[in-house]
Structure 1
C-alpha cells in the first residue's frame, strides 16, 4: 500500500492548536480508529504542539497513513534533560508516551505512532 501524506502548518500560537487536533481527529476517524484512540491522538498532538510553541514562528505537522500505522510528525518538539525540563513539558511528554503506541524523538522533532488494527482501513 502506498502511504498517504497530509501536511499542515499552523502559526506558533495556542489558538491554532485546535486546528491540529481537528485535523488529526478527522484523519484518524477516516482510518477507522475508535473514539478512545482518536481522543488519545488529539491529546498527544496538542501536547506536542504545546511543546513546540515559542521555538519557531510556525509548527509543521505531517500525518502519514501507512498500511499498519498512523504516524504524526511534529517539528520542534524537544525532549529536555530532566534538570532543564519544565514540569509542564515533562508532563506533556509523559502524556504523549502513555497515549501513543510508539514515540521517537529526533533533532527535528517528534514522531508519534498509533498502530492500525486489522480491518480499520
Structure 2
C-alpha cells in the first residue's frame, strides 16, 4: 500500500487556505455558485465518511452568508465511495493509495 495518509502534505496545507469573498485580495478560494451545489458536496462528503473515508480537513459549510464550503481532504477513499466516484463541485481532494502503480493507473483511467 502507499504512504499513510498522515504523511501526505495536502491536509496540512489545506488548513491555511483563505476562504472568502473572491473580490477580497486575501481570498484564495471563493464560494460555490449555488446553495444546492454546496449541499450536494456536503452530502457526498458525509456519505463517504459514513462509508469509511477519513476526514483529514474541512468537511463542512463555512458559517455566514454565501455558499462557502471549507477546503476538504478525504483519505482512505477507494472506488465505490461517493466523493471518489461522483463529480464534486467544490474544493475537495480524495486520497487513495493503491498497492501497485498498475492498479493506480487503472483506477485513474476508469
TM-score with structure 2 setting the length = 0.37
Question: Which is richer in helix?
Answer: 1
Larger Rg: 2
Question: Which is richer in strand?
Answer: 1
TM-score with structure 1 setting the length = 0.34
